Amino acid sequence: MENKNYDLKLAGYIWSILKTQPFIVMSWGVDMNTIKPVEEGPEFHVQGFIHTGMVRIILDEGKDLFEIHLIPDSEGEEKVIEDVYLDMFVSVIDRNLEKTDDYEKRISDTYDIIRY
C-alpha cells in the first residue's frame, strides 16, 4: 500500500511539472481519462504528429533524471529516452511526440489555419 501512495505522489509531482507548460502538453492530444500512476511515475495516452500511444515517465531518483518511454499503439518498438534533465523535460517529450520538420504547416493544414 505504501508503494502505491508513493507512486501516486510521484505521478502527481511529474504531472505538475508538465502542467507548467499547458499549451505544449495540450498539443500532444493527451487523453485525460488515461492518466494513471504506474511504478515511479505517470502513464497516459497521446495523439501527437510523431507518436500515438502511451507515454510513461519515470523519475530515477538516484540520478535525479527522467526516463521517458514511448509505447506505440500500432506495431513498433518502444522508444526509451534516458537521462532527461528537469529543465529540458517538456521540450524533449514535445520533440519526440509532436515536433516535425514541417510542424507549422501541419498545424495549419490539420486545423485549417491560414497564416498571412
What's this model's pTM, rounded to 2 decimal places? 0.83
Torsion, CA 88, CA 85, CA 57, CA 60, rounded to 10? 180
pLDDT per position as a tens digit, 24-77? 999 899 999 999 999 989 999 999 888 999 999 999 989 999 999 999 998 889
